[in-house]
Amino acid sequence: MSGLLMIQKLRQEPFNQETEDKLRSHPYLQAAENGKLSLSQRQAFAREQYFVQLSDAKSFATLAGHKDFSPASLTGVSVPSPLQPESSPVDLFQFLLGGEIYASSLLLDYARELGMDEDALRKPPSSYRLSAKSQAYPSYWARLALSGQRAAAAAACAVNFPAWGQMCQLLLQALRDGDEYKEYSSDDDPGLAFIKFFAAPIEDLDKMAAAIIEEETVPYEELIEPVRLLQQYEIMFWDGVFEATDK
């Protein structure tokens, strides 16, 4: 079975259909669409994402072969040069690493609209505790990276990232169009650039993921569980930011 067929089959698995249904009806998204998403919940998205992004960048770097990439912050960080020859196809994880580094400044713009700078994200106030539910997602990425499961990670990307992107697209629409969110006026508002960036589909995602799956020659059955778990952790991320309040 080709890598592309494996990706298509994974998207048709019952667990993925269930994940997509849960995400589309998630309370966080419903609250945003109804104009009831609180400032604390929007700040929680930035606070949790700050650590998700930093951890995921390190995981993608590891999967791309950059074992020593371990910055304390993504601000001002340069993307490590690809380890593959220039003539080689773009490695999925090298590509994703570049995306995380680029988007790190966009997250800071989102946070500033909500009254937070990078120090506030890096060192949350004592009244806020990072969510174990939200941080389970990057923790699983780190597990895949540390165990060198490039094929499983590639398959997880191909299935999970469109689901994440769809959530960002719907959240973007809700924040942009909601009268209650007066900070934003259009898609071009800097405070929405982070969400807009991830709302856009990744060009050639399936092609890049399939190349790694075929290169690693992993059977379909060994891809199912890692993809299912990451989809569950995606739901948990949104659970965590919805439940977040200053305590």
In whole angstroms, how far apart are CA 163 and each of 71, 91, 166, 168, 234?
Answer: 28, 21, 5, 9, 9
Q: What is the pLDDT of residues 190-242, one digit of tens each?
A: 999 999 999 999 999 999 999 999 999 899 999 999 999 999 999 999 999 99
Concatenated DSSP letters of 113-153: HTT--HHHHHS--TT----HHHHHHHHHHHHHHHTT-HHHH
SS3 breakdown of the chain: % helix, strand, coil, rounded to 5?
Answer: 70, 0, 30
User: Closest by alpha carbon to 150, among 231, 79, 85, 59?
Assistant: 59
Q: What is the pLDDT of residues 114-159, one digit of tens each?
A: 999 999 999 988 889 999 999 999 999 999 999 999 999 999 999 9
This prediction has a pTM of 0.95
pLDDT of the residue at 247: 45
